[in-house]
Each structure stands twice: as structure tokens, then as C-alpha cells.
Chains A and B, each alone.
Chain A
Amino acid sequence: MQRTILDLWVGIFVVAGLAAILFLALKVGNMAGFENGQTYSLKAGFDNIGGLKPRAPIKSAGVVVGRVGEIGFDNQSYEATVTLNLDSRYQFPKDTSAAIMTSGLLGEQYISLEAGGDEKKLGNGDRLKITQGAVVLENLIGQFLYNKADEGKSKDKAGSL
């Protein structure tokens, strides 16, 4: 048995195919991210998570520091319970606050962490105390219209006086 030119072609084909998969994994996908690293998880309750999805980014000062894990519903407090998987390179104080934000006008939703001033750091399984849910566009518009109507009323009153 000896090497043939056919073996060379098969070898080239297989190497090219594997290189394509590698290209897809590293250059197109985000496999080279921190996901392989060590993480610790926190919990946070939100009154409304809006369109937040599992694996959405968690950002602090605009930098991605983790990803959203599970999202569940707490039947005791009627709140959404979100698990936050954070990279263990980043430690946050005990009084850190979490808010659900939207990137851009119609972009995807993410969790923004605002570090507090506590000396103690958050550990695995801790719960974030201060949270702010997603802004619901309908409520916002409703509030705006209500305020406008209020303004109009007070103007009328001012006019009658």
C-alpha cells in the first residue's frame, strides 16, 4: 500500500472543510468569548423583564461582563427571577443595582449593572436588592398623555383665573 494522489486530494478536502468550520466558529460565531471561563451566578427579581431573553448580555459601564442565564417566575412575589452568570474576573460590591435597558431604539435588551460603594463583594448565589425593570413603551406613552392632559387642565385653570 502506498500513498496516491487521491489521498492528497481527500486530505486537502478534509482540511479545507475543517478550516471552514473553524472559521465559522471563531470568526463568524462568538466562541472565542469568555464563555469557557469561570463564572459565578447572581439572582435578581424584576417587576417586568420586557423582552429580555436568556443569553442576553450583562453590561457594566458598557462592557460585557456576563450573560443572562435562566429566567423564571416567582409565584410568591409575582416577580420575574433572572439568573445572571457573571465572569469571575469581575467582582461587584454588595449594593450593586441592576436595570434592564435597550440598546438603541429597537435593539435587543440587556441588563446594566451599576456598581455601588459597599466594601463587601457579591458572591455566588447572592441576590441583587436594587433592580429596575424594563421600560414598557405603552406605559411610557400613557404617562406622557396623562401628563399632557394634566398640563392642559392646569392651563385652563390659569386662563379662567
Chain B
Amino acid sequence: MSEDKFDAIVVGGGLAGTVAAYLMANAGLEVVLIERGNFPGSKNMTGGRLYTHSIEKIIPGFTAEAPLERKITRECVTMLTDDSAVGLDYRSTRLGKQGSDSYSVLTSVLDQWLADKAEEAGAQIIAGISIENLIVREGRVCGVIAGDDELEANVTILADGANSLLAQKIGMRAEFKPSQVAVGVKELIRLPASVIEDRFCSSDGEGTASLFVGSPTAGSIGGGFLYTNKESVSLGIVATLSTLVEGNRSAPAMLEALKRHHAVAPLIKNGKLLEYSGHIVLEGGYDMIPKLIGDGVLVVGDGAGFCMNLGYAVRGMDLAIASAECAAKAVIEASGQGDFSAESLAVYRTLLEQGFVLKDMKTYRRFPHFMDSTPRLFDEYPRLAADTMEEMFVVDGRPSIPLRKAVMPHLKRIGIGTLIKDVRKGLGSL
């Protein structure tokens, strides 16, 4: 490796890393991005939906040019019990308007495209090198260590993902608790575009985002997701580790349970498995954000815990991109002043607070606790919904009893007081 000192080293070629490298290189800084896989994106997986507001501002024309899959114009949330599915299905021309549009994506493909953009802007991309340690002198991060090689920079940006060992090694974040982390398991299933459009009632190029809660995760906090891509479907489950390990169904078995549910199976019938992937998801929200800034170092993206799971929508990629932009701006400013201390880099946090990243994380701060403390969401409420639907729609010729009376035993199973409290708590956290 070169003896020269870089302005910035970015560790990790995901969304946050490539965008940070792109912006800093564009501003004329000497930047190197180091990726441990064979190419940026090769270690990355995502559920599959990107809200493009943050990236479109950084790369105008992104939506037209980037390798995106389908524009999401249909949102579904479905509660599952073993034998039923009760859902919300929202289709609107209000979805997908420019500026608030979102797309299904395959992140390995997208990250390579972004890395190419960074390279065109002048960033150097080194793939196939794993950074095991950081150079730390008198509490200041001065670069990275890979094997016998050392590479120095004024600032090192840690974009090494949710499982950022580097941030942990230098004491910027504590070890995770199993209640703060979920595991995601996904199958990418190939289907012809015409079949996808027929099964999901979508127009050419448009797609569906669908979330599931209930029986597949067997009582564990978590749920399923499905995103339609151009010629494939991303289908997976996410389950919180603390509850997953108390149960009796493994993460791969949860995915199988989702796949064979009668509301899901017809959607993927005759599909062919293209890829099987797994990843952790940091679900602790605002309260698990690590130390973001140190002398000569910043943490961005998943590694910074920038992820929001609200049950009906999951966000991470747009936060990763926006955090990378804030970090890049901070480094550019610090370079102008020649001061890379934590105080100088603190503008990173200011920018995060002024923008939507920390505002949104704060707004939904209480939601992870709501999910933790309301296990009924994943079990009893889907059953209540299914039982209520049964009372409404199953007609068998027996004399009818009024719906309010028919539903009462189902409600009483949970307790009306509990239900009211949960609704208040839920609304209070959103």
C-alpha cells in the first residue's frame, strides 16, 4: 500500500461507504474506500426497499439512471394466523410521486453502481482487503491496519455495517444486547416479470411492498417481508434474537412457515431460488446509537444503528445515505480547517440533528420498547383479527348473533383494558 496519507479512508463498500466516498472525492479530497469482499456490495444484503429522497438530492437523476428494480406503488400489511390472513392493502397514485418515491432494490448490484460513481469522482476503491484494526495514537484514529500493511488518513469513516467490529474495538459502541438485534433471512426467488405483474396486480415496472406479522415467527417479535423486483421476489423474515431463542422455531424454519402459508405460497409458486442471504438488523433505535464521532473517526450507516422498524415500514438505506452525506460534509469542512479532532468533526452530529436522520430516530424512539413490551402484537392480535373476520364473513346458516356479542369472547381473551392500553401505547410511540 501507499506510504502517502489520504484525506479520508472509508471502511466498507455499502450504501453509506460508497456515498461518503463519492461526495468527498467530488469535493477534491483524496479518498480511498476499502472493501473486504471482492467488490463493493458483495457482502451486502437488504430486505429490499430504498426510499430515494436522500440519494436523489446527492446524485440528481439517480432514479432514472441507477439499477433499481420496481417503483413501489402498493403497500400491504397482513396479519397471519395458521389458517387466516387479514390485511390492509393500500394502492394509490399518491404513492411513488417524485420526491417521495421508493423502489425495490438488489443492494449488491446497486452498491457496485455507486462504487463506480465514487471511482469516477476520483475515489480509489480497494477490494478484497479486510481491515482488522485501526491505527490509534494517543486516542486519535490515524488510519487502518490490514495484515502487515498500514494506511494513514486524516479521517477514517467506519461504514463497515451493522456488525461493526471496528467501532467496538475502539470503544465507540458497546456490545449488542440480543433484544436490540434481529436476524433477517431472505430468499430471492426468480419469477418472470409478467407472472409478477399478474400475481401482484401491478402495471409494468411497478411493484409491491408487503409486510407480514403473526404465525410464521411463532410468537417471536418480528415478521415477514416481500418486495417485488423486476424478475424476482425478495421474501424474508426478521426476528428479534432475544425472543427467537426462547421459542421453538428456527429462523430458517420461520421463513419456511411464511413460504408455505396459504396467503403467500401462491405468490411464489414455481419460483426458483436465486440467492439465500442473512443479515442482522439493529432494531434498538435511537437508544442504541453508538458514539458517532471521535478524533479522526466517524461512524455512519448501519454501523451507527441508523435503522427504523415501525412495523408497517422499515427504513435503513435512506438513513445510511443521509448519514454518509452528513459525514462527508463534516470531513470536507474539517479538511478546509485542517482540524480533524472530535470537536471539529462534531458538525457531523449537528448535520444529523438538523436533517431527518436523528429527528426521525428521536420521533420513533419509544417504538422499539413498545414492540418489546407488547408481545400480543405478534400472536394474539393477529388471532383476534382473524376471529373477528370469521364472525363477519363465515355464514353457515346457524341463527346469527349480533357481531358485537360474537366478537366479545375474542376480545375478552386479551382483555379490553389491555387492548385499550396497547392501542394508546402504540399510538403514543408513533
A binds B: no
Residues of B within 8 A of A (CB): none
